[in-house]
Amino acid sequence: MTAKNSFRMLAASCIAAVLVFGSATTLPAQNVVVMVNGEPITNYDIDQRSKLTQLSSRATPSRQQVLDELINEKVKIKEGKKFGIDPSAADIDAAFASMGSRMRMSSEQLEKTLENQGIRPDTLKRRIRAEMVWSNLVRGRFKSSMMVSEQDVRAALGESEAQAGENFEYQMQPVVLIVPRSAPNASREARFKEAEALRGRVQSCADANTIFKAMPNAAIRSMVIKTSAEIPQSLREILDKTPVGHLTAPEVTKQGVEMVALCSRKPSTADTPKKREIREKMTAEKFEKKSKEYLQEVRKAAMIEYR
């Protein structure tokens, strides 16, 4: 064998070694730290996730915290696949773009922001995938056990608060006795007295429509349907004191003298803002509890091999 051929063989061997094992400078970062169900987690993965966590939370996690997070994500994704939950690349990209939009950035700008911090966009996308899989899996498998009943909400509020926060649906028709802005105060006072007299005549919304549609310089508007959570507390108090079918007390406004014909007031199953807050909090607590229990279960069944 000539010296020239020997040199060529040596060079080819070196290139092959670099392709298989990586360069001497990048090898330590790629060292496998743990195998999870046959999939590796490397030093590079840990370094990337550490940077991402520092960027998103402004806190520096311990190496073990980061490693546990990565292990959890591996077992979550594997468990999701068992039940057919496997988001596509398009799903992940859409979630990534949505995250950027909430930060007022395009996908490209978010990617550039991450890269400027030494973080590959795929690092964030892998975390997004795991969160999507696990959320859908837990909510899908344990939906019934995470339901929060009306009784649960009332118990959390306390009976007095629950009663005070009872929700109604109101059907009403605003009416107005028109008074020009340039009219003297005497005209407004006269129309105010007229409105007070009309309150005694109106016993239903049908009465209100008949009277106000035939009356000059008056108007009755279309039916409005609102729940307690959708109207100001001051108006709700007035409506609750008004008998159904009657008019509320007159009020002088820029348009003239206005009242509301209360056509219906009935209990509503829609949540008040306070009840909605309580319900969402209790649902989140149930999800968190079930999520932890389920994660412990699937992690115990996983093959985790530290190197």
pLDDT digits (tens, 9 = 90+) for 220-271: 999 999 988 788 888 989 999 999 999 999 999 999 999 999 999 998 877 6
pLDDT of residue 19: 36
pLDDT of residue 292: 96
In the numeric block, which tokens belong to residue 138? 């837990």
Q: Which amino acid is at 106?
A: S
Whether residue 1 has pLDDT greater than 90: no
Whether residue 8 has pLDDT greater than 70: no
Whether residue 92 has pLDDT greater than 90: yes
Whether residue 65 has pLDDT greater than 60: yes
CA angle 170, 163, 268 (to 5 degrees): 30
Q: What is the largest CA-CA distance in the chain?
A: 121
pLDDT > 70: what percent of the chain? 86
What is the mean pLDDT of the segment spanning 196-209?
Answer: 95
Q: Which amino acid is at 96?
A: F
What is the mean pLDDT of the segment spanning 265-292?
Answer: 86
pLDDT of residue 14: 37
pLDDT of residue 244: 96
Q: Which of 11-20, 143-152, 235-244, 261-270 has the lowest mean pLDDT?
A: 11-20
Burial label for 72, CB within 10 Å (0-12, 13-18, 19+), is middle
Mean pLDDT of the residues in the chain: 87
Whether residue 82 has pLDDT greater than 50: yes
pLDDT of residue 165: 54
Evaluate whether 71 touches 299 at the Cβ level (below 8 Å).
Answer: yes
CA 221 – CA 218 distance, rounded (Å) = 10
Evaluate whether 90 touches 132 at the Cβ level (below 8 Å).
Answer: no
Phi and psi angles of residue 244, each rounded to the nearest 5 degrees, phi first: -60, 135
What is the mean pLDDT of the segment spanning 84-105?
Answer: 94
Whether residue 177 has pLDDT greater than 70: yes
pLDDT of residue 160: 47
Whether residue 127 has pLDDT greater than 80: yes
Q: Which residues pair with 261 in a beta bridge?
A: 173, 247
